[in-house]
Structure 1
Amino acid sequence: MRAVYFENFGVLPDIRTLPDPTPTPSGVVVAVKATGLCRSDWHGWMGHDADIRLPHVPGHELAGTIAAVGRDVRRFRVGDRVTVPFVSGCGHCRECRSGNSQVCEEQFQPGFTHWGSFAEYVAIDYADQNLVALPPEISYDTAASLGCRFATSFRAVVDQGRLKGGEWLAVHGCGGVGLSAIMIGAALGANVIAIDIAEEKLALARELGAAVTIDSRTVADVAEAVREISGGGAHVSVDALGHPQTCCNSISNLRRRGRHVQVGLMLADHATPQIPMGRVIAHELEIYGSHGMQSWRYDAMLDMIKAGKLAPEKLIGRRIGLSDAPQALANMDRFTESGITIIDPTA
């Protein structure tokens, strides 16, 4: 198979011909039809993720058809259209048994714990517990865009943030995660405030349902601006970027008893940000992490997509071939892309 491949962190990957994967007894091999390019992939390539062992093939947002099936797989067969959460579970630990495979004690992640989907084929273990069958009306590109950013945002806003119609939602950072959260918040009937430094991204945020946008370069205090606009602060606030400043702003702009959800990764030098703990205590704020979404929760999200309440395809910015993926991966730290980049491994 052709795949994006690197042997050293931070060194531009190249395209290699590698052996095709084979399924484990409980796993499958997926012929990748579309895979998303995510900033998490950039963090992995830079060596910020301890799970990666070199040499490596990145990629964790994928959709495709099953090409081979292990002998113990019962729910899926060759030819099925599928996607998979980027955090997958073992199916037998206490977290998986409680329905929380997104924090599985033995979790695995394509593109991190093993070779990923920037390739023509990818192996997925524990298929019966982790694969999601794709409805025919959802394209491979759309499904790939769900895998990390959109599904994580759905869980962050709906399950962790418990956002309700009429509440105020602040979203810090209008990349793929942030734009997903904005669309989901608007679909739930919330009043969404989008914060970013790029007018192009803020314009897209307004198209996707943001009631108010803030260019953080033009205000002296982002948290104060959000509190003023929302009449006391956001009920729910999401740091969709993953930076000490956006994390602090997101907590500080909450109203009393508000809920902060951290989605943007905090790695390397940003791993231990300072937060306004005095405000957290005095205002009884709630702070949550959000790390993927269980495969069984996809039905709720897919139902909203099929009903036309969510349109994740609007978040797709561009489509590229596999040969363009190495340079696109290296450029992920520049925050220049509006929307999600989809890689077609067959191109």
Structure 2
Amino acid sequence: MRAVVFEEAGEPMEVQEVDRPEADADEIVVETEACGVCRSDWHAWQGDWDWIGVAPTPGLVFGHEPVGTVKEVGEDVSELSVGDRVCVPFNLSDGTCRYCKQGRANICERVVPMGFVPFQPGAFAEEFPVRNADHNAIKIPDGVDPVDVAGLGCRFATAFHGLVHRVDVTPGDWVAVHGCGGVGLSAIHVADALGANVIGVDLGEDKLDKAVELGADATVNVTEVEDVPQAVKAHTPSSRGVEVSVDALGVAETCRNSVNSLAKGGQNLQIGLTTSEEEGEVSLPVDNIVMEEREFVGSFGMPPHEYEEIFSMMAQDKIDPGKIVSETVSLEEVPEVIASMDDYGTVGIPVCDEF
């Protein structure tokens, strides 16, 4: 079958012929209908994240935001059948550890990041396998366009889980989102659906325009202000700051700006992971965090059982992940799209839907 194959960090990827996956007893094999092209793919392609154990090896197939149709079912799989349409989280879990049993499968003790390790290939391919399928594969409601949900496996799901389950967003709160890429725009859309007043922060007018389209009430262009946190606070009542601030990028500057945009008692939601420049370490204003009782909260993916909440809100027209999809591309175009993320040029979520 055809797949986009990684050979070496920073070297161009290309479509190659690889072996078709076969389902082990607890697995399914899915024919890919759509797969989001994520900035996390760019990070892995660049060789980032070795400090957290992500080290792609030659021959790896990327792609961790897939939707598709079940083509093969392992003998121990009981909840899925050939012909079912499914999506999966990128952080595949075993369903049995203490965190899975607490409903926090996204931080499973034996979590496997799809498309980042050789024993769990991704979905920039005609077909892909899913381990522990009864636990990890989520059936898609009838009538849902696969392209519209191709970003759920990572960006939209992480933003949704973070804003709905990791911090406290209530109607009327002020929420700032620093970085209006795919996950940042998803966060803006979700925060708006929750009734918050949303401020989008970025350096690109095209991304800020998209933020407004998705529900932002105000924007801050970081190239036009001297003090980003103060510019954010200026949009809030009495310039007090925001109740929730989201760092959706993960560089040191956006992380500190996000924390410093908070009101007293506010919560920083950290979604963005760092680059090779930070290597996972960012200095923060700890004394202010202590004295103003701010919180620093992480969000990593989403457990499978929360997908039903997204599908329910979609059915009620409260959210529409498809609004964040910026373009559809073919499998042959995926390497070019990933490489173009060097300059943060993509707006929204590109989706591969031609295999």
TM-score after normalising by structure 1: 0.98
Deviates more, 1:241-250 or 1:268-277: 268-277
Correspondence for 1:145 among 136, 151, 162? 151
2:315 matched to 1:306? yes
User: Residues 102-141 of structure 1 correspond to what in structure 2 (within 5 A)?
Assistant: 102-113=106-117, 114-141=120-147
* Structure 2 residues not aligned, in runs of 5+: none
* Structure 1 residues not aligned, in runs of 5+: none
Q: Secondary structure at the match of 2:112?
A: coil
Q: Secondary structure at the match of 1:7?
A: coil
CA contact (8 A) 2:161 2:301 kept: yes
Q: Deviations over 1:254-305 (max 9, x none)?
A: 0011000110111322220111111111111111110000000111111001
2:270 matched to 1:262? yes
- Mapped to 1, the partners of 2:94 and 2:85 lie a distance apart of 22
Deviates more, 1:170-179 or 1:41-50: 41-50
Q: Deviations over 1:304-334 (max 9, x none)?
A: 0111000111111111101111111111121
CA contact (8 A) 2:35 2:67 kept: yes
Alignment correspondent of 2:195: 189
- Mapped to 1, the partners of 2:143 and 2:244 lie a distance apart of 32
Correspondence for 2:304 among 295, 298, 317? 295
- Mapped to 2, the partners of 1:262 and 1:20 lie a distance apart of 37
Superposed structure 1 runs of 4+ greater than 4 Å apart: none
2:66 matched to 1:58? no
CA contact (8 A) 2:340 2:346 kept: no
User: Residues 1-347 of structure 1 correspond to what in structure 2 (within 5 A)?
Assistant: 1-49=1-49, 50-51=53-54, 52-113=56-117, 114-231=120-237, 232-270=240-278, 271-346=280-355
Q: Deviations over 1:183-238 (max 9, x none)?
A: 11111110001001011111111111111011011111111111221130100000
Which residue identity does 2:158 align to in structure 1?
A: T
CA contact (8 A) 2:10 2:46 kept: yes
- Mapped to 2, the partners of 1:267 and 1:293 lie a distance apart of 22
CA contact (8 A) 1:118 1:345 kept: no
Identity %: 40
* Number of aligned residue pairs: 346
- Mapped to 2, the partners of 1:242 and 1:300 lie a distance apart of 27
Which residue identity does 2:275 align to in structure 1?
A: L
Q: CA deviation at 1:137?
A: 2.4
Q: Secondary structure at the match of 2:175?
A: strand
Q: Deviations over 1:158-192 (max 9, x none)?
A: 11122110000000011111111111111111000
Deviates more, 1:146-155 or 1:41-50: 41-50
- Mapped to 1, the partners of 2:23 and 2:112 lie a distance apart of 15
- Mapped to 1, the partners of 2:38 and 2:283 lie a distance apart of 26
Which residue identity does 1:344 align to in structure 2?
A: D
- Mapped to 1, the partners of 2:215 and 2:250 lie a distance apart of 22
- Mapped to 1, the partners of 2:353 and 2:336 lie a distance apart of 15
Deviates more, 1:41-50 or 1:74-83: 41-50
Q: CA deviation at 1:97?
A: 1.4
CA RMSD of aligned residues (A): 1.0
Which residue identity does 2:227 align to in structure 1?
A: D
Which residue identity does 2:253 align to in structure 1?
A: Q
Q: CA deviation at 1:54?
A: 2.6
TM-score after normalising by structure 2: 0.96
Which residue identity does 1:259 align to in structure 2?
A: Q
Which residue identity does 1:241 align to in structure 2?
A: L
Q: Deviations over 1:69-116 (max 9, x none)?
A: 111001001110000011111111111111111101101121112211
- Mapped to 2, the partners of 1:105 and 1:345 lie a distance apart of 35
CA contact (8 A) 2:7 2:57 kept: no
- Mapped to 1, the partners of 2:76 and 2:343 lie a distance apart of 44
